[in-house]
Amino acid sequence: MQLILYTPSELVASENLYIRSVEAQLESCVEVKVGLVTKTVTETKSGWNLQGLFPVNREHFEVDLGTWGQYLIMDALPTCKSCVLDTTHSLRISVGISIGGSERTQIVETSLEAIIIGAPPSYTTNPSVYV
């Protein structure tokens, strides 16, 4: 995953902006419809949370996530839509920004649709196929 923060050039030039925190969460929603009855379950899973003081010194600032750029959720259902089942996912990113070294932090959030694919089927080798 690549995270790029856009900051207007006037703001970069006039303020000492710092990223104080970056957090990613996967929000999954499963909706089941049977006749006129609908049941919805929403679950949020934390992916990673970085804390620090990263100076924002250019208009397009890329946050170096290192190995945290890999977002792994082991038990998420694949995205699907049918007449009875609707499974959707969104990735919620929150970034804490401060001016100077101030402890006062403004949180900026965005949400992106995420598509989760199912695991490939299990493969077995059949020795009788190889003659």
pLDDT tens digits for range 55-78:
888 888 887 666 656 666 677 888
Smallest CA-to-CA distance from 7 within 65, 62, 68 is with 62
CA angle 78, 22, 73 (to 5 degrees): 20
**Average of per-residue pLDDT across 93-97:** 91
pLDDT band at 131 (very low <50, low <70, confident <90, very high): low
> How far is Cα 27 from Cα 66, in angstroms, rounded to an integer?
23
Give the torsion through C-alpha atoms of 124, 129, 130, 131, to 10 deg.
160
pLDDT band at 128 (very low <50, low <70, confident <90, very high): low
pTM of the model: 0.71
**Residues constituting the chain:** 131
